[in-house]
Amino acid sequence: MKKIIVACGAGIATSTVALRKLQDGMEARGKADAVKFTQTSLAELPSTVGGHDLIVTTAQGGSGYGIPVISGLGLITGIGVEKVIDDVIKTLEL
């Protein structure tokens, strides 16, 4: 099982929206059982990133942890939602 951490500035509002859209997209593609999600803020990212395979963030940041980072801004704006989900699946090789 692959682990995805979804992060935003405060770890509450935008990461919740992004997480739900990502979960829905993974479910629609039959990939929901292949992933586990964690939600956090950018400030808490250093203490929560361990053991994860991918970071999806709705804010600037998230790099420097040795795992891929994908911008999840499209999950918030609604522009490019499918591309973000496709990028996550491709990056994790699901």
Q: How many Cα atoms are found within 13 Å in the side-chain-facing hemisphere of 61?
A: 15
Active site residue 8: yes
d(CA 31, CA 27): 6
* Contact between 14 and 60 (Cβ < 8 Å): no
The single residue of 4, 5, 6, 8 carrying the catalytic annotation is 8
Task: Write out the catalytic residue numbers.
Answer: 8
